[in-house]
Amino acid sequence: MSKNDFPETLIQFQKTFSDEEACINYLEKLRWPEGFVCLKCDSTDKPYRFKNRPTVLRCRNCHANTRLTAGTIMHKTRTPLHVWFWAAYLVTSHTPGLSATQFQRQLGLKRYETAFQILHKLRIAMVRPQRDKIGASGHVEVDETFVGGRTHSKKQGVTDKVLVAAAVEVRSLNKPRRNGERKLYAGRLRLAQISDRGQLALEDFVKKSVAPGGTIFTDGWTGYDNLTTLGYEHNATVINGDHKKTDLVLPMVHLVFSNLKTWLRGTHHGVSPKHLSVYLDEFTFRFNRRFYPMAAVNSILGIAVCVPGTTYKHLYSN
């Protein structure tokens, strides 16, 4: 199955995953594009199927059972697979901010706990600790900002504001516009909570996020002064709060900050510093997969695990 066969719209998604059978067929096709092969004896005979255990395939030759959902977060679930698929779609799609209550209502789930558990598992599946570094080609914008801050219940001047650093790849469309310009767009993103705006914290973030030798654009803040010594190409521009300059020099990272803040405010009504990193991961996950919604669905459900080889690797680059 090529990436072109992934449903790309809500309508296509609804058609493709209309019921349990459709989801099982999809999983099976991803796992065995050429048809079922028994893991134990390599038999390619059509497997036995069970009405009450539709995700189990039994080899006709050696009678070994293979579970379609093994290695995915849906393994041994009692919730129908198409509910999981919908949950993954809703969580990864552009309209973020699904509460367990909304989700329960939209999918008609009887128990709130089920909705909560599914969302919880999906969120955990968004956190991928071993991410590669960005910026091997093109340049990367790096900046830091304060987010959050529920000040109303506290004394004046005391806030929950937390510093967040961001690194965003800047890419340009292959096809130039009529006037010869190439439209810029944001590539992959890295976000992290940092302790302060000092050189150590910022350099630590940069080293963890950006590939060695990459080109980095920043504002004139002294915390970035040493990036050249660390082996990066550094392009610093003094901005001094000039918005026009910001749009020219760091357009992508500021767009990210603005979207992030809107999302945190709107969906989560502000987030305490304790939970922020989980939300940063969630935001990053969705952002980095916004062009491949179905790959995101696969990734979050853990379906990638079933797929042998590297067929989908380019889609899962985080």
| Min CB(21)–Zn ion separation in Å | 23
Tokens of 79: 């919730």
Size of the site for Zn ion (CB under 5 A): 8
Tokens of 173: 């469309």
Binder of Zn ion out of 38, 147, 295, 301 (CB under 5 A): 38
Residue 40 binds Zn ion (CB under 5 A): yes
Residue 57 binds Zn ion (CB under 5 A): no
The CA–CA distances, whole Å, from 94 to 157, 187, 285, 290, 314 equal 35, 16, 11, 7, 21
CA distance 61 to 44: 9
Listing from the earlier edge strand, what are the strands of the sheet with 65-67? 48-49, 56-58, 65-67
Stretch near Zn ion under the rule CB under 5 A, chosen from 52-60, 65-73, 87-95, 234-242: 52-60
Residue 59 binds Zn ion (CB under 5 A): yes
Q: Which is nearer to Zn ion, 43 or 311 (CB)?
A: 43
The DSSP call for residue 134 is B
Residue 43 binds Zn ion (CB under 5 A): yes
Binder of Zn ion out of 61, 117, 193, 246 (CB under 5 A): 61
| Min CB(58)–Zn ion separation in Å | 9
CA distance 90 to 84: 10
Residue 41 binds Zn ion (CB under 5 A): yes
| Min CB(65)–Zn ion separation in Å | 10
> Around 70, how many Cα atoms within 13 Å sit in the side-chain half-sphere?
8
Residues near Zn ion (CB under 5 A) are 38, 40-41, 43, 59, 61-62, 64
